[in-house]
Structures are given as C-alpha cells and as structure tokens.
Amino acid sequence: MTDTRTRTTPTATDPELACPVSPVVDIVFSRWTTPILWALHAHGRQRFVELERRIARITPKVLTQRLRQLERDGLVVRTYHPEVPPRVEYEISALGRSLAPLFAHLAEWAAENLAEVERARDAYDADDANGSR
C-alpha cells in the first residue's frame, strides 16, 4: 500500500518562528529605547525634560513617541500629578528592570569584543579600498 499523502514544506518561514527573540529585539533595541531605559534605570524617576537633557540629540517628538510605546509595552510607568502646573514623571517598571541582566551582559560583551569588531571593520574597509571586494 502506497501512502498518497504529500508533505508540503512552507516556502517562507515566519521570522518570529524562525527567531523567537525577534519580537524582543523589536521592542527593546529600537533606536532610542535602550538609552531611555538605561537613563531611567540608572537615574530613577525623571520628568520629561530631565530625560531629554540626559539623552542628547533626541527630539521632543521622538522622546514622546518612545515613552508612549514603552508605557504601552509595560516597560515604563508614567505618573501624572494633578498640580498647578501639572507634573508628569517617568520611571522604569519592574518589567523594564527585569531587562537589567540582559543589558549587563551586552555591556560586558561590548567591553570584551568591540575592539575586535573595529579591527574587522578596518580590515574589511582596507580590502574594499584596495578593490578586493
């Protein structure tokens, strides 16, 4: 008896299934998210203007967008104080603080390996300049 069922292999794999950390990377490692979380973790609760001063080159619009997204993701807590004038403070949440070991490992990796990355870049650029690429 011959088995007439055919096995189909998907031609495209969902990237999130292929790499289960992909959603985490999208959340945590976008352009300004890491500096915001780092500043809140290192310096505690801060007002918008304090964060803006600590993170050079970020525009108020982008900081607002990232803080809203981080609040939505549960990584930052926004506290509104109904005073005159109103006061808003941001702090890293427990969920956001749980990322601290990940950042510590990345900082350690950077300290140990960025010089090697730089050497690899220099070698690549030198080969490219010599026309070997």
Task: Indicate the burial class of 15 (C-beta count within 10 angstroms; 0-12, 13-18, 19 or more).
Answer: exposed
What pLDDT, on the 0 to 100 scale, is given for residue 89? 98
What pLDDT, on the 0 to 100 scale, is given for residue 101? 92
What pLDDT, on the 0 to 100 scale, is given for residue 16? 60
Which residues of the chain register pLDDT less than 50? 9-11
Is the separation of the CB atoms in 69 and 28 below 8 Å?
no
Using alpha carbons, select from 40, 101, 46, 103 the residue that is nearest to residue 75.
Answer: 40
C-alpha–C-alpha distance, residues 46 and 105, integer Å = 25
- pTM confidence score: 0.75
What pLDDT, on the 0 to 100 scale, is given for residue 12? 59
Is the separation of the CB atoms in 87 and 95 below 8 Å?
no
What pLDDT, on the 0 to 100 scale, is given for residue 2? 52
